[in-house]
Chains A and B, each alone.
Chain A
Amino acid sequence: MSDIVLETRGLTKRYGGVHALEDADFILRAGEHVAVVGDNGAGKSTFVRQVTAVEQKTSGQIFFDGREVEFADPLAAREAGIETVFQTLALADDLDVPSNLFLGRELFKWRFGPFSWLDRKAMRDRTLEALKTTAVKIPNVDNPIRNMSGGQRQCVSIARTAAFASKLVIMDEPTAALGVQETAQVENIIRGLKERGIPMILISHNLRQVFDLVDRIVVFRRGRIVASLNRDETDGNDIVSYITGVKGGADVADA
């Protein structure tokens, strides 16, 4: 079973009495792109937050890269190789593009604790390189990103993820606030990840996008995983039936 990148067993999260995520068994294989879909409040984001340790799970197990993991915080998850694009942009508006790309993992000329000297040229060069491979066009990377469009900012966020992606990429609604052109650009980055063989979990409301991009679709409903379907063996109506509970209701009771 060495080709399994991420596996969760019985992953559960409760906020007080609210069962946000219940007994989620999930498997992601090497090179696989999986979409997570479901209605608002179905537990998609909660699921991601447990895997990336933004929150601590109530119970269950997470296996990543062949061993069980207990990440203390998002940084630990990131250091293990999980790169995440969060729904709310994790960008610092007043910093330029290189500073945002390298936020928390700066390159140094020499190290002296909190006063370590930044290697600004190396960071800038690698930023331009990363933007080139992701085909993102940012006219001037030295400007603070405050003045950039929503699409450009999202592209910076995704370029950061793609540039540092090692073992797993998770994207939570990456195109939710974007225009048509910008969405296409993000989708191109995702296809680039597929070509590089980097596995991905994509949370999306956009079924057209989901069918375009991923291999498998996992449906969440009311905190539970109600279906896991290969893209070629299902269609939009089928997925919507699971999302709304027309299908799969009986299975849930047993699971």
Chain B
Amino acid sequence: MAQTTHGLGGLKYDPTKRTRAAEWNVFFALLLIVFIFEVLNRLNGSSFLFNMRDNVDAIFNKQRLDIMILQVAITGIIAIGVTQVIILGGIDLSSGSLVGATAMIVMSFAQTALVNGNPNPKAIFGDWAMDLPVIVPIVVGMGCGVLAGVVNGLLIAYTRIPPFIATLGMMVTARGVARWWSNGQPVSFPTESYSHLSNGDILGTLTFGALPWPGQNPAVVFVVLAILFHVLMTRTVYGKRSYAIGSNEAAARMSGINVDRHKVLVYTIAGCLAAVAAILLTSKNLTAQAGMGVMYELDAIAMAVIGGISLSGGRGSILGTVLGAMIFSTIISGFTSIRLDAYYQEMVKGAIIVAAVVLDQWRQRQRARG
């Protein structure tokens, strides 16, 4: 019996066939988009993938790839956390604002006392907070992430208010904190060691100079975190519980999973990842502003959605989100490469988010029909 008919409406499927991983479709979409941009570029005599300058034909454009990875690294780190929250059946709207609040607070502990021989004009605290070891702002930043994540998790798990509302509250509150912290003033001039977090060359250092990748630390962290959480989601009971709760919370509860505790854990991890993003972003930009991270939460959700996540929970993967992030940055880079205006980029980005979901649902219906 290769094919069986069953259930309502006589839906057909081939039960012996292993369903193809949804990530492949996202990957093919990525290849298609790259191909389209390559063709569009070739029409103008240039190339998307290859460096055509100085008549050096067919040299892979590494610079473009570097930029593409770097520009999604920060939002991508947030998206890793958001993906886990959505798989759990929740949503996190607070991550962008949390980046803003954490950025302001962290930077206040990362300032240097003397700027070109003069006292730091943007100093927030007194001398005691100047030139602190780099571990201090990192610990403070992670503390912000844990605090916001725990509050999100506790609200959602124990007051049973919808995650949308709880994290919306956190989103508004955290943005308020970011503006209140220094009355809207930017916090700037970090220590050398703090700026090195993003602008150093950790990959080169770790590989003893074999793979130098200066200024790409956010991308390195993004890749490492993506692999780490991909493993946690697929190989450990942490991921199994997240998928189970997102798939059928009542069943998970009945099976003895401590659903409430697990929710707090996942939201806390999401908060920590937003904090990591804030630290890397401020280190990269050498300044913190109250408006940092605006719309990051929606970009992160969009990456997850393009990567094939189901907003009702239980379905999706870190790998999908990483591919979604790559599509995201390919589109940005692609439009820049054909010199299309930024306004058009936004419009097309919006259309692609919707198209991704429509295509995914269409594909699922096709599979159900067999």
Contacts and interface: CB of A to CB of B under 8 A. Distances in A.
Contacts of A116: 236-237
Chain B interface size, as a band, is 20 to 34
Contacts of B17: 140
Interface in B1-54: 4, 6-7, 13, 15-19
Interface centre among A92, A99, A116, A117 (most CB of B within 10 A): A92
A133 to B, nearest CB: 21
Interface in B183-211: none
A91 B367 CA distance: 21
B254 interface: yes
Contacts of B252: 92, 103-104
A142 interface: yes
Given A93-B314, A95-B247, A142-B18, A106 B240 contact: yes
Contacts of A139: 15-16
A58 interface: no
Contacts of B247: 92-95
Contact of A148 (B15, B240, B265): B15
Contacts of A118: 235-237, 240
Interface residues of A, number: 40
B315 interface: yes
B15 A90 contact: no
Nearest to A90: B251
Q: Is the interface of A mostly helix, strand, loop or mixed?
A: loop
Given A99-B244, A114-B262, A150-B7, A143 B235 contact: no
A150 B236 contact: no
A144 interface: yes
Contacts of A140: 15-18
A46 B18 CA distance: 40
A115 B244 contact: no
A112 B4 CA distance: 42
Nearest to B17: A140
Given A92-B247, A94-B243, A148-B15, A104 B257 contact: yes
Contacts of B265: 114
Interface string B244-278: 10111011101111000010010000000000000
A232 B255 CA distance: 37
A151 B6 contact: yes
A94 to B, nearest CB: 4
A20 B264 CA distance: 36
A26 interface: no
A149 B368 CA distance: 11
Contacts of B164: none
B147 interface: no
Contacts of B13: 147
A33 interface: no
A157 B236 CA distance: 23
A92 B262 CA distance: 16
B232 interface: yes
Contacts of B15: 138-140, 143, 147-148, 152
Contact of B256 (A86, A95, A105): A105
5 contacts: A73-B256, A92-B244, A95-B240, A95-B247, A143-B18
Interface of A: 54, 73-75, 78-79, 86, 88-95, 99, 103-106, 108, 112, 114-118, 120, 138-140, 142-144, 147-152
